[in-house]
């Protein structure tokens, strides 16, 4: 049964519209509190990114949870994975993140973590939706939840990040540019890297409530590319607004995306002698990653697009490493959710251990040319079932001859069909993508 309010990554929207209003968020806080109370749990931690509406929604959530009789611990600005970590280590019943991730400041959202620091189970999300539509009642005054701010939350998470790499690791001699997207990592990532010995230049670390993700961070890596080249740095690291994604830039200013980061971490695990059986990517992961992973003697599986599905497949396969091209990397042997800082540290530790440059570390993976065309739906209810589309896809697959992929999928947010082709020859990829897109448009 489809959920009414929860998406694949919580609830998100424009501030002042839909569920993103103070009264609705207060009611959601109450619904979460009632759902948890029904399970005998009564402590929730709340963290947020740096967008201006976070103050308003933090207060609304706090009020709603208190009205349901649930105690609250306020963490302040924290990366999403840091909130997941503290939810678990503080033995909280759940964690709530006030963030719209890589979206602009005028959007916001709510993400939820279970007591284990992972996504909420479906049955609890259904219960929260059920409570949200029930009349709101307030517990007796003596039962109201109490709120307290956790002053050392950032320090706890800094130490947790450092603990994901060997104690002997030192980044002395590394010149690194950090781009924190004016987001939740602005005060934490610089501390982590500095304490590990790196020399850093920090960009995007002056949040004002409305500049989060604005021309900075992993969604706008061009600024980082320029600064790395200008500074003559060894590499650059860019996070998104809530710190669960990371991209890197090598000394030449070339972007190292999530596929390449995933490849380097897999190689690092093998180098360290870790027991690693396979890696999970998504339908959009470059085929070059799949081939490189298999050449290392590991298995490779693809999940649907979305970190929730990557995590589900990792647990199903009992594997520890997976991620998306966007830079959402999950290292289950280190943490419970996608973590930009932790993922970057795994790469840096491998470079420090081997003496390799970022260019040398990624050299074993050759990305295949990939092209995507978004085709608007023209009234046809099922263009992918069209005979002419099927013929165009079959011809493309024959030409690729097993050394490429064809993927057609409906957009989850727009009336579009996304046509993707990848292969070894860029000219062929462009031609095949266009021919399939023309067939979809004519269907």
Supply the residues annotated as catalytic.
Answer: 101
Residue 210: C-alpha distances to residues 183, 290, 377, 428 (Å): 10, 39, 35, 43
The neighbouring-strand residues paired with 409 are 418
The phi, psi pair for 142, rounded to 5°, reads -70, -10
Q: Which two tokens stand for residue 63?
A: 């009020």
Q: Residue 370, SS3?
A: strand
Place of tokens 């074993």: 364
- Which strands sit side by side in the sheet containing 321-323, from one edge to the other? 299-303, 278-282, 321-323, 329-331
H helices within 273-425, ranges in order?
A: 287-295, 307-317, 340-354, 358-361, 387-400
Separation between Cα atoms, residue 296 and residue 155, nearest integer Å: 38
Within 10 angstroms of residue 22's Cβ, the number of other Cβ atoms is 17
Interacting residues of 28 by C-beta distance below 8 A, sequence separation 6+: 11, 19, 61, 64, 110, 128, 132
Residue 342 corresponds to which tokens in the numbers above? 């932790």
In the chain the first and final C-alpha atoms are separated, in Å, by: 30
CB 10 within 8 A of CB 146: no
- Distance CA(106)–CA(86), nearest Å, equals 27
Contact 157, 216 (CB under 8 A): no
Six-digit token string for 410: 């409906």
The SS3 assignment for 358 reads: helix
What contacts 432, CB < 8 A, 6 or more positions away? 396, 399, 400, 406, 421, 423
Pairing mode, if any, of strands 175-179 and 235-239? parallel
What's the order of all strands across the beta sheet hosting 370-376?
Answer: 370-376, 416-422, 405-410
| 182 dihedral zone (left: phi>0; alpha: psi -120 to 50; beta) | left
DSSP letter at 135 equals P
């Amino acid at each position: 049964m489809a959920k009414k309010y929860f998406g694949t990554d919580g609830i998100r929207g424009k501030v002042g519209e839909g569920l993103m209003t103070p009264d609705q968020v207060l009611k959601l806080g109450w619904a979460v509190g009632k759902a948890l109370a029904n399970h005998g749990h009564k402590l929730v931690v709340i963290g947020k990114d740096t967008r201006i509406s976070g103050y308003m929604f933090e207060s609304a959530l706090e009020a709603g949870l208190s009205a349901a009789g649930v105690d609250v611990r306020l963490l302040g600005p924290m990366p999403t994975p840091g909130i997941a970590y503290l939810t678990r280590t503080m033995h909280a019943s759940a964690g709530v993140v006030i963030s719209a991730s890589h979206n602009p400041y005028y959007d916001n959202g709510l993400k939820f973590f279970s007591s284990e620091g992972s996504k909420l189970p479906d049955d609890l999300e259904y219960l929260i939706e059920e409570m949200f539509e029930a009349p709101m009642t307030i517990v007796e005054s003596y039962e109201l939840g109490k709120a307290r701010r956790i002053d050392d939350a950032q320090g706890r998470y800094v130490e947790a990040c450092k603990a994901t790499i060997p104690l002997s690791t030192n980044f002395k001699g590394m010149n690194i540019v950090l781009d924190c997207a004016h987001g939740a990592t602005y005060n934490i990532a610089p501390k982590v890297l500095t304490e590990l010995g790196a020399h850093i230049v920090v960009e995007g670390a002056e949040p004002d409530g409305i500049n989060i993700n604005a021309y900075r961070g992993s969604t706008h890596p061009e600024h980082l590319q320029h600064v790395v080249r200008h500074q003559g740095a060894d590499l650059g690291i860019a996070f998104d607004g809530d710190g669960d994604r990371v991209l890197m830039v090598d000394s030449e200013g070339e972007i190292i995306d999530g596929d390449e980061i995933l490849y380097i971490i897999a190689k690092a695990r093998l180098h360290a002698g870790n027991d690693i059986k396979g890696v999970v990517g998504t339908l959009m992961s470059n085929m070059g990653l799949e081939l490189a992973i298999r050449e290392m003697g590991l298995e490779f599986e693809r999940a649907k697009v979305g970190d929730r599905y990557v995590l589900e497949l990792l647990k199903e396969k009992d594997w520890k490493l997976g991620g998306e091209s966007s830079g959402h990397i999950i290292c289950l042997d280190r943490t419970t959710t996608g973590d930009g800082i932790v993922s970057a540290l795994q790469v840096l530790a491998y470079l420090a251990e081997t003496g390799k440059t970022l260019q040398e570390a990624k050299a074993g993976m050759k990305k295949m040319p990939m092209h995507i065309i978004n085709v608007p739906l023209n009234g046809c209810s099922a263009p992918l079932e069209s005979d002419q589309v099927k013929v165009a896809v079959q011809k493309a697959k024959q030409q690729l001859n097993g050394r490429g992929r064809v993927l057609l999928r409906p957009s989850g947010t727009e009336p579009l069909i996304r046509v993707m082709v990848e292969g070894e020859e860029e000219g062929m990829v462009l031609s095949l993508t266009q021919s399939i897109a023309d067939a979809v448009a004519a269907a």
